[in-house]
């Protein structure tokens, strides 16, 4: 895929994957994160969850890291009002100094692999440190064609038991899980739909048009079976 064309669609979206502030609130409750905690938003995208973390935890110190520089810049701008307690930069989540009381990683751990990513995070955690991450999940039973097509580019997708096995293989135990389904996906796709329409109205190159069509196909597949397409949000700690 043409990277520049991809980011023409993806720049200026409020978030880069499904999620909502309530997920963040739930996870920090399960993790027991409070006060002047040190937190990392690993693979922060444009910073929607960084902002929620900073709002829910007004004394916390938050680092936000993304491989894609413009996302780190967007997160910095979005969180400027929190002052020095929120810092965002371009970098790899596999290579962080820490130590962190909580590593929040929404829709990004699969770039490293669940087991490999959790292993990489371990030395970056404080003694009581915890990780919250969301990961594509199969809900079980026969999957409609649209769901199979939706996940075609992520063949490593597994079900809840499969994710639990990957967590255990990294030497972590789960504290709690919940599904990210329905509204948090609308929060991702509705702004994308609006951006597709706005870009088309401006007129786009063939390369961008191809990206817009891919986006539309993905959204159409999701709309076919929104009750079958989910992430599992997991809060875990090292054993
Ligand atoms: C699906 S997006 C999710 C972004 C954000 N967490 C959200 O929910 O809006 C995944 C993000 O992970 C970033 N990413 C991928 N591999 C990474 C790595 N090794 N270190 C840091 N960020 C990474 C991508 O650039 C992308 O912004």
Task: Examine residue 213 and state whether it is found in any structural domain, yes or no.
Answer: no
Is it the case that residue 238 has pLDDT exceeding 90? yes
Pairwise CA distance, residues 50 & 76, whole Å: 10
Any atom of ligand 1 within 6 Å of the Cβ of 117: no
Task: Examine residue 45 and state whether it is found in any structural domain, yes or no.
Answer: yes
- pLDDT tens by residue, 63-106: 999 999 999 999 999 999 999 999 999 999 999 998 999 999 99
Nearest CA to ligand 1 atom 12: 43
List b or e across 104-132, with b for residues whose CB sees 16 or more CB atoms inside 10 angstroms. bbbbbbbebebbebbbbbbebbeeebbbb
pLDDT (0 to 100) of residue 63: 98
Is it the case that residue 1 has pLDDT exceeding 80? no
Is it the case that residue 51 has pLDDT exceeding 80? yes
Of the pLDDT bands very low, low, confident and very high (cuts 50, 70, 90), residue 133 is very high
Token digits of residue 134: 């969301």
pLDDT (0 to 100) of residue 208: 95
Task: Examine residue 143 and state whether it is found in any structural domain, yes or no.
Answer: yes
Of the pLDDT bands very low, low, confident and very high (cuts 50, 70, 90), residue 141 is confident
For a mutational test of ligand 1's pocket, the pick from 64, 111, 180, 192, i.e. the residue with the most ligand atoms closer than 8 A to its C-beta, is 111
CATH code of residue 173: 3.40.50.150
Q: Which whole number is the average pLDDT over 198-215?
A: 94
172-180 and 230-238: which strand pairing? antiparallel
pLDDT (0 to 100) of residue 142: 83
Is it the case that residue 32 has pLDDT exceeding 80? yes
Token digits of residue 170: 């990294």
Task: Examine residue 138 and state whether it is found in any structural domain, yes or no.
Answer: yes
End-to-end alpha carbon distance in the chain: 40
Any atom of ligand 1 within 6 Å of the Cβ of 96: no
For the chain, the domain total comes to 1
Is it the case that residue 186 has pLDDT exceeding 90? yes
Of the pLDDT bands very low, low, confident and very high (cuts 50, 70, 90), residue 2 is confident
Any atom of ligand 1 within 6 Å of the Cβ of 103: no
Is it the case that residue 146 has pLDDT exceeding 90? no
pLDDT (0 to 100) of residue 44: 98
Any atom of ligand 1 within 6 Å of the Cβ of 121: no
21 Cβ contact partners less than 8 Å away, ≥ 6 residues apart: 52, 55, 56
Domain that holds residue 129: 18-147+154-182+228-238
Beta strands (DSSP E) in the chain are 38-42, 61-66, 86-90, 100-106, 125-138, 158-159, 172-180, 230-238
Pairwise CA distance, residues 237 & 239, whole Å: 6
Is it the case that residue 170 has pLDDT exceeding 90? yes
Q: Given the structure tokens 């991450």, which residue do they identify?
A: 133
Q: Given the structure tokens 């810092």, which residue do they identify?
A: 87
Token digits of residue 186: 């609308």
């Amino acid at each position: 895929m043409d990277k520049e064309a991809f980011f023409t669609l993806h720049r200026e979206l409020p978030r880069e994957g499904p999620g909502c502030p309530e997920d963040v609130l739930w996870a920090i409750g399960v993790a027991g994160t409070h006060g002047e905690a040190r937190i990392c938003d690993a693979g922060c995208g444009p910073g929607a969850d960084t902002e929620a973390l900073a709002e829910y935890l007004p004394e916390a110190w938050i680092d936000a890291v993304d491989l894609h520089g413009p996302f780190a810049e967007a997160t910095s701008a979005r969180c400027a009002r929190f002052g020095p307690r929120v810092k965002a930069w371009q970098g790899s989540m596999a290579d962080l100094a820490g130590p962190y009381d909580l590593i929040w990683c929404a829709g990004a751990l699969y770039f490293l692999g669940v087991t490999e990513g959790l292993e990489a995070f371990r030395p970056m955690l404080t003694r009581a440190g915890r990780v919250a991450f969301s990961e594509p999940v199969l809900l079980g039973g026969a999957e409609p064609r649209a769901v199979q097509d939706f996940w075609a580019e992520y063949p490593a997708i597994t079900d809840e038991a499969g994710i639990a096995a990957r967590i255990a293989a990294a030497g972590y135990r789960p504290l709690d899980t919940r599904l990210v389904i329905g509204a948090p996906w609308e929060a991702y796709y509705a702004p994308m739909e609006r951006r597709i329409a706005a870009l088309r109205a401006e007129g786009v190159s063939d390369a961008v048009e191809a990206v817009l069509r891919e986006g539309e196909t993905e959204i159409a597949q999701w709309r076919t079976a929104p009750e079958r397409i989910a992430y599992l949000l997991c809060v875990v700690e090292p054993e």
